[in-house]
Chains A and B, each alone.
Chain A
Amino acid sequence: MLFLMPGFKKARKRHPEKCRVMEKELVRLSLLEKEKCSSMDEAAEPFAKLMEEVMAYEPLCTDSRNEKILRWIGYNTGKWIYILDAYNDLAEDVKNNSYNPLIYQFGYQGEDISEFAKKIRQRVEFNLIHALSQIAKGYQLLDIKQNKGLLENIIYMGMLRKTEEILGIRSREGIEKPL
């Protein structure tokens, strides 16, 4: 549990407001899991909000404009992580009888899990890529001067690669590369 993790007390002292939001979201998350929430949007919400809070790190929020953008980037990052993770864990969750929003949303009926994963892939892919597109849009609006190469590498390559890897999409050689 988070509350037992070393450093938690120190963190809470330093960022009491952020801790409060995170605790609230984690409680909400465990409730949704208990209820066996059948919507990936709803299930992803607490973790997305949690990441939003992480990203709205005060020293970076130089003004309300930046804060708004950073929150949107954080929200979408959390959403991406949660849904990607859910897709990645489908087989394991079925085996362990653990909650997974995708199992409930798409009505898994005990068929071959890799078939099921394939069936829902396109829809999951849309959601993941859309979250990434929103991160990119937010990033474009930030006036970043430092580490641009690194950040763009993460947003346009690392995260996309991870997405395609987990979805099992092969590299798309067929797609035209713009000059």
Chain B
Amino acid sequence: MKNPYEVLGVKEGASKEEIKKAYRELVKKYHPDQYRDNPLAQLAEEKMREINEAYDYLMGTGNKTGSSESQRGTWSQQGGTGFYYQVRMHINSGNIGVAENMLNNTSDRSAEWYFLKGLIFLRRGWYDQAVTHIQTAVSMDPSNYEYREALNRLHNTNRVYRTDAYGRGYNQDLDLCTICQCLWCSDCCCECMGGDLISCC
């Protein structure tokens, strides 16, 4: 076990209140919902487990907080037809290629097909296609909570990033450091492309 104080980011001898507060912040950050449909989901789960262990240890409670397990993969148990259930299992366990092959080889183009195709795109990092497909699923079956939820989650991820940026002071005064970073970024963009590597640049 790692140093539980370090894991929670509190000083040794921190009060229970402080520990609780730090714990709540970390749960918000690493909650499985924040990493759903993401290739790093499993790593976030491990991190969450570490945080829970540290918390349990420091609070001296024997009881497991372990919220991460119960949240995991709830949607995959919702079933659907046998075929799509299998596709979902493959997506869940990271066999994206297998799942995609299955979808490509069926003639069905139901809302569920578009939804799962969207999830696969998401895992690949093809966000534009992901949104388009999940949106199609939502408009074909507007009453489906799962589809709408996935779409909301996508937009929410962007909101969380922005909120984090504002929390760090983005949009307050342009300080010197920010200017440096802008320069760094733009410089990097241009130079690593070597000018004419991509003709549209």
By a beta-carbon cutoff of 8 Å, the part of chain A in contact with chain B is 1-2, 5, 26, 29, 33, 39-42, 45, 47-48, 54, 65, 68-69, 72, 75-76, 79, 81-82, 84-86, 89, 93, 98-101, 123, 126-127, 129-134, 136-138, 140-141, 152-154, 156-162, 165, 171-173, 175-178
Contact = CB atoms under 8 A, between A and B. Distances in A.
B154 to A, nearest CB: 7
Interface in B147-201: 154-155, 157-158, 160-171, 177-178, 180-182, 184-186, 188-189, 192-194, 196-201
Given A41-B129, A134-B125, A161-B178, A172 B189 contact: no
Given A126-B131, A157-B168, A178-B167, A47 B182 contact: no
Interface of B: 29-30, 34-35, 38-40, 43-44, 46-47, 121, 125-129, 131, 154-155, 157-158, 160-171, 177-178, 180-182, 184-186, 188-189, 192-194, 196-201
Given A130-B158, A133-B160, A178-B163, A82 B198 contact: yes
Contacts of A134: 38, 125
Given A39-B129, A137-B38, A33 B170 contact: no
Contact of A157 (B155, B170, B189, B200): B170
A160 B165 contact: yes
Nearest to B131: A126
Given A130-B154, A153-B178, A154-B181, A41 B201 contact: no
A-B CB proximity, top 9 nearest: A158-B181, A133-B161, A41-B126, A156-B165, A100-B200, A129-B158, A130-B127, A133-B157, A162-B185
Interface centre among B165, B192, B198 (most CB of A within 10 A): B198
A78 B165 CA distance: 20
Nearest to B126: A41
Nearest to A105: B128
Given A133-B161, A154-B181, 16 more contacts: A5-B194, A65-B46, A69-B40, A81-B193, A85-B201, A86-B200, A98-B199, A100-B200, A123-B128, A136-B164, A138-B40, A157-B177, A159-B185, A172-B171, A177-B171, A178-B167
B43 A84 contact: no
A131 B123 CA distance: 12
A2 B178 contact: no
Contacts of A136: 161, 164
A158 B167 contact: no
Contact of B29 (A45, A48, A76, A140): A140
A69 B43 contact: yes
Nearest to B39: A72
A81 B38 contact: no
Contacts of B170: 156-157, 160-161
Nearest to A102: B200
Contact of A162 (B128, B164, B186): B186
B198 A85 contact: yes
Nearest to A132: B161
Contact of A93 (B161, B162, B200): B200
